[in-house]
């Protein structure tokens, strides 16, 4: 049974992906600049990809998972799962 099955906690899409990855696997995380009604969100209303990746890295460490990330551009980051801590 994996961590996702044991917990009733709701995970963000990024957290869910980190938990699903095998060591050495990666995924692209992109920020979305549009609201549900297709209106463009002002910059102050969303976090940058680097902020999301940094928070995700801290979250993963608290769950004994080591990840690293590399910025592709200001809205895209590649995240790798390195292994358990």
Answer whether residue 75 is part of any domain: yes
Mean pLDDT of the chain: 83
User: Which structural domain, as residue segments, surrounds residue 30?
Assistant: 11-84
Beta carbons of 67 and 57 less than 8 angstroms apart: yes
pLDDT tens digits, 26-53? 999 988 666 566 666 655 455 788 889 9
Answer whether residue 49 is part of any domain: yes
Supply 44's token pair: 């102050």
Answer whether residue 1 is part of any domain: no
The whole-number average pLDDT for the span 59-82 is 94
For the chain, state the CA radius of gyration. 14
Beta carbons of 74 and 49 less than 8 angstroms apart: yes
């Amino acid at each position: 049974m994996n961590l996702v099955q044991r917990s009733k906690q709701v995970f963000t899409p990024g957290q869910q992906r980190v938990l699903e990855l095998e060591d050495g696997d990666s995924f692209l995380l992109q920020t979305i600049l549009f609201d549900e009604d297709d209106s463009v969100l002002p910059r102050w209303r969303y976090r940058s990809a680097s902020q999301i990746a940094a928070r995700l890295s801290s979250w993963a460490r608290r769950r004994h998972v080591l990840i690293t990330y590399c910025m592709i551009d200001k809205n895209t980051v590649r995240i790798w799962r390195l292994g358990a801590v």
